[in-house]
Each structure stands twice: as structure tokens, then as C-alpha cells.
Structure 1
């Protein structure tokens, strides 16, 4: 369980949530094993990062299960009343074995699911689904056309979203942006200063700060510059198409 008022427990092979630091627990109607289904080798004592939402207004869990076909369904089980009632929605009727998975909402109605699967060495299939009705229905966006392993992604508003690729020995940021809600994707131009070209290689999901987009670019899995934890901060004034270097961000600023 998280050390917060709101948390979860995976004890006794069941998923429970609490809204009062563990004084009372509510059973989530999802089999624990389904939450870890697919290409995942991490600990099953904690939920997969980014595969769930746990807030006062929304609790949601993304997972896959066998369908009537050879592939699997991708589902989201969620509650908007702190677990008093639950809804199940199908994000995708058919999908390969799940690897990367992420769900998030940026407001009450608009949310996104980013998933990947069918991994072969350093290649895989990845795609994005959007909802505009609070999770009741989902629509798949157009594909970026990239088959590298996805590292992260996200939306800052209903039109503007990003996908970041390259998890195995990345040599430069591979960031793609949509400005039309996933109808089309374009590769962002991340302008790395020459002295940082071999250092800042993996783009994180941008965030909106005031009137501009801000993004951190980390050193990937093998970075050793200043201990490997320093990141580069970049800004965009054209909604994510181009990015300019601003400064180094020290580890204590990444918290």
C-alpha cells in the first residue's frame, strides 16, 4: 500500500483499495494475475507503474485477458465513486501480448491509453486510444509508423500528445507529436547542443508550464554523465514541433 490516504493492497492475491489509510478496504473486481498479463517480468508485489489511476475522483486499472480469438482484449475497470460501483470497458477487442501500458486522464472526460505488444527483439507494435466520454468508449488513433520500443507517451490536452521511442541503447531523442488528436504524427526536432549529443538521449513526456511546453531529456539506461541522473531541460514554443535546450536539471530538481 502507498504511504498516503489513498492506497492499494495486493495481499492474498486480491486487489483492494483504501481511501482512509487502510482502515477500510474495497475489493476491486479484477483478478490479480490479469494485472500483470503479458511481457512483464517485474515484481508482482506492486502494480505496474502507469497502468492504474488512484485518485479521489477516479480509480482505474488497465489490463488484458484472453478473448475469443488468439489475441487478447485490453480492458479498463474503473470507478468514479470510490469503488461503490465499477464499470468495465473494452479499450481494444484484439491485441498482441501486452508490454508497455499506460492510462491517464487529463480531465473528467478526456483520457488516453498507450499500449505496445508483439515484441520481437528491439521492434514492437504500439498504438494510442482516446476517450472523450470519461472512459465509456475508446477510439484508436492513427499510428506513428514507428516500430522501435516505446519508452513513454502522454497528452497535454485533447489535441496535443507525444510518443517517445528507444529503450535499448538510445543515441538521441526519438520524439513524435500529434497536434490533431492522433489523426497524424510528426517527428519532433529536439535540438541537442553539440556537447550534449551523446548524453541526453531519451525524451520524457512534456508538460505545459504557462504558455510553453517543457520537457526533460534523460541519459537513458547507460548514462554516466554526472552520475547519470542529470537531465536536460528543453522548451517548445510551437506546440512540440521543435525543442530548444534551456539548462541542465540537477537530480534534486527531478523529485
Structure 2
């Protein structure tokens, strides 16, 4: 009898083990499949999202279209000009939002409890309507939906879009719905948001990278430069003549007619302020007819002590500078000088320290004699140099993995444009026609590097409001395409 009980126990344990193994294997296989599916998922922006519909306003796929082509009778072909804009809008917004609700959608791009609140016709003749909807953002830390011109409160996203549609009739009882324009109600001339809520709406802004802690800052008062740490109201004097600092020539308060340096804005890349290291690059120019050597002043103890190092006694007309210490030991300075922005020429040079700023080594020139847009350093060997776009160069983004000794240009892989590209003008656009101007790389908190390819000054695709996003998790060795996103660019 005891032997039978032991046998039953063994069988039960074996069954449980087998079930556990099957369960673990199933979860593993599901996660692998999920990862595979997610890698191949594409999310189309609201500006470029298009659908094919039938005469009943239902979405049709390619198989349905082929069937329709073979069975259509010209005498009974539906006239899509008579289809109501409400039908078009409802079908389009349902299909657009459906991209973000599937089981395999990554959390950062996932919506739940989607509700279309209202579709209001504003102008039937131009197929313009106001679409209002809300949804729960699954990952509240995600910034993906911050470009949707909506308001997010307690994880709930509310949007109102004024959308103008365009229909292309294929004369086979199907038509393609495109978006001609998307505006906010305010831009269109109406406002249905509560004003206090609308004021809290945010927009994703891509800015040039700086090396300053969020709560640290500088201030110029009475011709004295001060720094403050960790949001403190207590300011510490930086012992440098403010006339010698490098100012941002693009700032509205930094014109040559400004009578006081306190009215100017210090070039954001020319300094860093952090708990571990503070540094300002200055000089490399003539001030009041006296030459000031290119120098850096720094402190590794939050302003208790300051050290000045002269980088060059010959460089002149410095108008760009970047400084960053990647740790307490290693740091880089990149300067641009003798610039002629009309002809697109600028000389530039790299300096490097490996002893916390006590000594600096000249590493040589950057790869191009062209004006620098911005720089990013991620460790003691990796430097990204981003130049202003010039069609004569294969790429305006370069990287060095040996501390600035050698550089290679970064070529981001072309993708397929959305189908609306074919109808955006008389000439069919290609990826490289549209997305060509790399913005300064951004280092995320998780060490991921983000690069946006913008459309440049001659942008026409999607009204120039979209950019292609790429990411790298191996310090710029390889790049992954993320998608076309709506951004505001501030450089």
C-alpha cells in the first residue's frame, strides 16, 4: 500500500514538473514571439496614416481590393464624393488608434480604454472636421504621445484634432483616405478645451544636448558670473571676466548691439554645471582690442576652489565651444573658430583630459571644416560631432570611438515612406529626399543614444512636422529605426 502511495506521489510530482516545464517553455516561446513581432511592428504618424475603404466606409485590405477590381462594374461604381465626412473621419480615427491597442504593442506605445467622444463637421466642402477622443496611456513614463497636441492628466490622454481629409477614388468601389492637414483647434480658430487644462499640455521638443544638471544654473549680475547647485538660491562666484565668455550669437539678447554682457546668453554648450564638475570655456578672441587666450576654468568641489588652464594662445575668433566631463577624470572640449557661415566654413579642434582637467591634450581637428551644430560625448572614448546640414556631404553626423583620433560618418539606413508620399507632389519622394539633416544626438537615462533625422530647411513632407527617430544601445556602433515622429526642433 505504501509503495502505491509513493508511486502516486512520484507520478504527481512528475506531472507537476512536466506542467511547470511546459508552462515556462510556453512563456519563453510567447515572449520570444512577442519580441519578434514587436521588432517588425510599424507605427504610422497621424500625418501620414492612410486607409483604403469600400463604399460602405469599411476598411479593405489588399485581398479585398483585388476582389473588388475583378468584380467591379463601371455602371455600378460608387461615387465617393457623396460619402459623408463623418463616415470617413470615424473610420480613419478608429483605424489610426487601433495601431496602439494590440496585445503585442510595446507598453511605451500602448493605449487602453480608447473612446471616440465626438466627430464634428466644420466644413463639409473641404472634408474638415473636429475629432475628439481620449484613452489611457499604459506607460505613464513614455513620451511617445507627447507630440499628439493633447492633455495628459493622471494617465488619461485627451486630444482634439482638426483634420482635413482627401479621398482618392480608384473607381472600383474602393478609395484611399489621406490626411491633408491636422491642426489644433486653436490654430484652426476654435477652442473647446478648458483653458486651464490646455495650458498644461506639453509638446516634445528636441534640443541640443548640454552637460548641465537640471537644477543647476548660472546667473550674471553686476558683471559677475555666479553658479548655483541643486536648485539652491545660494550663488557662488566664478572668477572669470564675463566679457571673455563665449556667448550665443543666435540669442535675441546676444546681438552685437547689446551694451552689457549681462544681457547676453552664454552659449549652452560652452559650460557644464554639475555636482561633480563645473567648467566654463572662455577666450579665444579679442576683447576691447586685447587678445584673450582660449582657456577653461573648472571646479570639482562645487565652486570652493577654481583652476584655470590655458588651451591655446593662438586660436582666435572662437564662436563655438563644447565642454563635458564624462566622469571626474575624463573630459573633452571642442571649439570652432574662424567661421564663415555664408560659405559654410569653420575650423575646429578637439582637446582631451584624462586627469580631471589638470592637463589637456590637443587631439587634432574634427573631420570636416564645416560649422558645428553640436557635440555629444558619452564616455572617455566616444565623441559625436554633428554639423549643420550641407548637401555636398554624405552625412552631417560623425563619431569617434578612440577619443577623437579618428572619425567615421554615421549613415542611418533608409526606410520606406508612408504611402501618402506618392501624393504629396508631382514627384514621388524617397527617404533620403525627405529625412537628411541629423540633429545633435541625445543620451537617454538608460544610456540609449537617440538621433532624429529632420527634413531640413526645405521641408515639405507632412508640412515638415515629422522626423525619423533612430536609437543605438551600443554607443553608436549600430542603429535601429524607431519610426516617424512629430517633433519641435530647437537648436
Normalising by the smaller structure, the TM-score range is 0.7 to 0.9
Q: Give distance in 2, aligned partners of 1:23 and 1:235.
A: 37
2:334·2:351 contact (CA, 8 Å) conserved in 1?
Answer: yes
2:321 corresponding residue in structure 1: 101
1:57 to 253, 270, 276: 276
Gap regions ≥5 residues in structure 2:
1-211, 255-262, 418-430
**Deviation of 1:52 (Å):** 0.9
Distance change >3 Å, CA 130–CA 98, structure 1 → 2: same
RMSD: 3.3
1:152 to 358, 369, 374: 374
Does residue 10 in structure 1 map to residue 220 in structure 2?
Answer: yes
Secondary structure of the residue aligned to 1:141 is strand
Q: Give distance in 1, aligned partners of 2:245 and 2:219.
A: 13
**Deviation of 1:105 (Å):** 1.5
Q: Give distance in 2, aligned partners of 1:135 and 1:29.
A: 17
Secondary structure of the residue aligned to 2:249 is coil
Q: Give distance in 2, aligned partners of 1:207 and 1:136.
A: 27
Does residue 112 in structure 1 map to residue 326 in structure 2?
Answer: no
Q: Give distance in 2, aligned partners of 1:66 and 1:93.
A: 10
Q: Deviations over 1:127-179 (max 9, x none)?
A: 21111111111112243441121111222222222212225679874222212
User: Which structure carries more strand by proportion?
Assistant: 1
Instruction: Tell me the TM-score normalised to structure 1 length.
Output: 0.80
Distance change >3 Å, CA 32–CA 209, structure 1 → 2: closer
1:172·1:202 contact (CA, 8 Å) conserved in 2?
Answer: no
User: Which structure carries more helix by proportion?
Assistant: 2
Of stretches 161-170 and 123-132 in structure 1, the one that deviates more from structure 2 is: 161-170
1:124 corresponding residue in structure 2: 346
The 5-angstrom pairing of residues 1-255 of structure 1 reads 5-19=215-229, 21=231, 23-36=233-246, 40=249, 42=251, 43=254, 44-65=263-284, 73-120=293-340, 121-167=343-389, 173-193=395-415, 195=417, 196-203=431-438, 204-205=440-441, 207=443, 213-223=449-459, 225-226=461-462, 228-236=464-472, 239-240=475-476, 243-251=479-487
**Deviation of 1:98 (Å):** 0.7
Distance change >3 Å, CA 20–CA 238, structure 1 → 2: closer
Q: Give distance in 2, aligned partners of 1:246 and 1:32.
A: 43
Secondary structure of the residue aligned to 1:83 is coil
Q: Give distance in 2, aligned partners of 1:241 and 1:26.
A: 41
2:245·2:283 contact (CA, 8 Å) conserved in 1?
Answer: yes
Q: Give distance in 2, aligned partners of 1:225 and 1:171.
A: 22
2:426 corresponding residue in structure 1: none
Q: Give distance in 2, aligned partners of 1:176 and 1:106.
A: 19
Distance change >3 Å, CA 25–CA 243, structure 1 → 2: closer
Q: Deviations over 1:216-236 (max 9, x none)?
A: 223334545445453321234
Distance change >3 Å, CA 58–CA 201, structure 1 → 2: same
Distance change >3 Å, CA 142–CA 190, structure 1 → 2: farther
1:178·1:186 contact (CA, 8 Å) conserved in 2?
Answer: yes
Q: Give distance in 2, aligned partners of 1:231 and 1:128.
A: 30
Secondary structure of the residue aligned to 1:197 is helix
**Deviation of 1:112 (Å):** 0.9
Q: Deviations over 1:62-82 (max 9, x none)?
A: 111559xx9752211111222
**Deviation of 1:125 (Å):** 0.6
Q: Give distance in 2, aligned partners of 1:210 and 1:20.
A: 22
